[in-house]
């Protein structure tokens, strides 16, 4: 790949041909990925066309209609692939919270490729960057810095956010098969969409009672399911730092939300996760449901993965103390309110602050002042936790590995 060229600014034609080439080869960066990363945020309209087509194709439902089988296929593929987003892109490639073999790792990358959220290495690089710069101006998708809309969907269309900086994910970049999948990240989605189309054609011929066909299954099973999957995932970027409660006083504004947990199979416990990133579960306590963790636990019993990392007792104790203090503070506040005659509890009081937070985040998008919690000293992110994760790659399974007791 050519080294950085000191040309002042690429011509429009060059930018377009570069973007078109990047549809096929994501690593095509004539001026170097590092230079591209330093550019100001700017939507790359040509590069982003496949993403636009993904959304527009959903309207084809007007022509292909629907059937119960097609709709249920879309629902099933949403959850199967949301599991891949959280259990593979996030909890394996980004944080290495469990281990697998090299072949198992490749299988996981293929599975995660069907989510159409670019390659696992691109995903992991940007996510680790988020943890290092959470709610700082460098954070690519902080709603406090960039506003709600940009943190939800805008940042993924920005030219500077397309390259993968392999120098920051050396633990993953040492596997050429993963780099290859990451480079040609449209290959798995195209094969996946083709398989759905062919399945629909076969069902029309051999199971006409289902009332589906190739185009209909393609629109529901691929385009609609994938578009909803993207927005479900993006809710974590745009809303998990706005909506919910803060158990841990992390130095960002991450929050725990049960609603986001339902949408994302467990990723809603985002404040927990920002406090301690190296454990397999995001729901730290038994009452914090975490379907992704349950799925990974099941997979560990098959031998495909192992070494699920538990939540340290010190973190559990810290959370229990925080919950205790929060409930005492809430009880005394309620008592004070009752004594003042302000007993006007309404569920709206829970909803309105979230709407307000989203509106404020959008209106103050250019304000890079990051809100810091005033309730006590912030807990700095322990970078050794991330480093610990980076060294956890296991190209081959350890002899006699056994199901973990995470
Ligand atoms: Zn976050
Ligand atoms: Zn994370």
Q: Give the dihedral sign, CA 390/395/399/404.
A: positive
* Of the candidates 350, 391, 381, the residue with the CA atom closest to the CA atom of residue 136: 381
- Closest ligand, as measured to the CA of 237: 1
Cα 254 to middle of ligand 1, angstroms: 6
Half-sphere exposure at residue 248, Cβ-oriented, CA atoms within 13 angstroms: 25
151-165 pLDDT, tens digit per residue, is: 999 999 998 999 999
The pLDDT value given to residue 328: 83
Rounded to the nearest 5°, which phi and psi values hold at 360? -65, -40
Q: Which residue has the higher pLDDT, 149 or 338?
A: 149
70-105 pLDDT, tens digit per residue, is: 999 999 999 999 999 999 999 999 999 999 999 999
Assign 150 to helix, strand or coil: helix
Cα 383 to middle of ligand 2, angstroms: 13
Cα 236 to middle of ligand 1, angstroms: 7
* Of the candidates 138, 133, 131, the residue with the CA atom closest to the CA atom of residue 37: 138
Cα 128 to middle of ligand 2, angstroms: 7
State how far the Cα of 298 lies from the Cα of 281, in Å rounded to an integer.
13
Q: Give the dihedral sign, CA 167/170/176/178.
A: negative
Cα 311 to middle of ligand 2, angstroms: 15
* Of the candidates 306, 319, 325, 302, the residue with the CA atom closest to the CA atom of residue 406: 306
Cα 193 to middle of ligand 2, angstroms: 28
For the cut 60, the answer to whether the pLDDT of residue 393 exceeds it is: no
Q: What is the number of residues in the chain? A: 406
Cα 310 to middle of ligand 2, angstroms: 15
Cα 127 to middle of ligand 2, angstroms: 6
Mean pLDDT of 270-285: 97
pTM score of the predicted model: 0.82
Mean pLDDT of 235-264: 96
State how far the Cα of 163 lies from the Cα of 145, in Å rounded to an integer.
21
26-74 pLDDT, tens digit per residue, is: 988 887 777 888 888 889 888 899 999 999 999 999 999 999 999 999 9
State how far the Cα of 204 lies from the Cα of 377, in Å rounded to an integer.
62
Question: Taking the CB of residue 79, how many other CB atoms lie within 10 A of it?
Answer: 15
DSSP states of 302-364: HTSEE-PPPPPHHHHHHHHHHHHHHHHHHHHHHHHHHHTT-----THHHHHHHHHHHHHHHHT
Cα 333 to middle of ligand 2, angstroms: 34
| Interacting residues of 209 by C-beta distance below 8 A, sequence separation 6+ | none
* Of the candidates 19, 67, 82, 7, the residue with the CA atom closest to the CA atom of residue 47: 19
Cα 153 to middle of ligand 1, angstroms: 15
- Closest ligand, as measured to the CA of 271: 1
Let me know if 403 is exposed, middle or buried by CB neighbors in 10 A (0-12, 13-18, 19+). Answer: middle
- Ion ligand 1 residues within 5 Å by Cβ: 254
Cα 281 to middle of ligand 1, angstroms: 15
92-143 pLDDT, tens digit per residue, is: 999 999 999 999 999 999 999 999 999 999 999 999 999 999 999 889 999 9
Check: CB of residue 146 under 8 Å from CB of residue 102.
no
Assign 57 to helix, strand or coil: helix
Query: Nearest-5° angle of CA 299, CA 288, CA 293?
Result: 10
């Amino acid at each position: 790949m050519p080294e950085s060229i000191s040309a002042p600014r690429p011509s429009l034609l060059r930018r377009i041909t570069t973007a078109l080439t990047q549809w096929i080869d994501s690593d095509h960066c004539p001026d170097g990925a590092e230079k591209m990363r330093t550019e100001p945020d700017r939507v790359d309209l040509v590069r982003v066309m496949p993403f636009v087509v993904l959304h527009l194709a959903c309207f084809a439902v007007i022509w292909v209609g629907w059937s119960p089988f097609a709709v249920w296929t879309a629902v099933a593929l949403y959850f199967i692939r949301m599991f891949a987003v959280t259990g593979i892109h996030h909890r394996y490639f980004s944080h290495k919270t469990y281990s697998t073999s090299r072949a198992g790792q490749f299988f996981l990358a293929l599975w995660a490729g069907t989510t159409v959220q670019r390659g696992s290495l691109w995903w992991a690089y940007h996510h680790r960057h988020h943890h290092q710069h959470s709610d700082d101006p460098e954070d690519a998708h902080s709603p406090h810095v960039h506003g709600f809309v940009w943190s939800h969907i805008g940042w993924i269309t920005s030219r500077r956010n397309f390259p993968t900086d392999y120098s920051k994910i050396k633990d993953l970049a040492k596997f050429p098969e993963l780099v290859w999948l990451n480079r040609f990240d449209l290959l798995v989605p195209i094969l996946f969409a083709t398989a759905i189309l062919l399945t629909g054609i076969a069902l029309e011929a051999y199971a006409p009672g289902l009332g589906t066909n190739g185009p209909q299954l393609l629109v529901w099973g691929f385009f609609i399911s994938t578009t909803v999957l993207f927005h479900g995932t993006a809710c974590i970027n745009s809303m998990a730092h706005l909506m919910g409660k803060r158990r841990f006083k992390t130095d960002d504004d991450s929050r725990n939300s049960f609603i986001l947990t339902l949408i994302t199979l467990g990723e809603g416990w985002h404040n927990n996760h920002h406090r301690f990133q190296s454990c397999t579960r995001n729901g730290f306590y038994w009452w914090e449901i975490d379907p992704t963790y349950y799925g990974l636990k099941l997979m560990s019993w098959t031998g495909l993965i192992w070494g699920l990392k538990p939540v340290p007792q010190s973190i559990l104790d810290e959370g229990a103390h925080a919950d205790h203090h929060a409930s005492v503070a809430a009880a005394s506040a309620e008592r004070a309110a009752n004594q003042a005659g302000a007993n006007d509890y309404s569920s709206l009081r829970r909803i309105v602050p979230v709407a307000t937070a989203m509106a404020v985040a959008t209106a103050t998008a250019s304000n890079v002042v990051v809100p810091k919690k005033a309730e006590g000293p912030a807990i700095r992110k322990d970078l050794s936790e991330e480093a610990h994760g980076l060294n956890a790659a296991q190209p081959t399974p350890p002899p006699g590995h056994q199901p973990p007791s995470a």
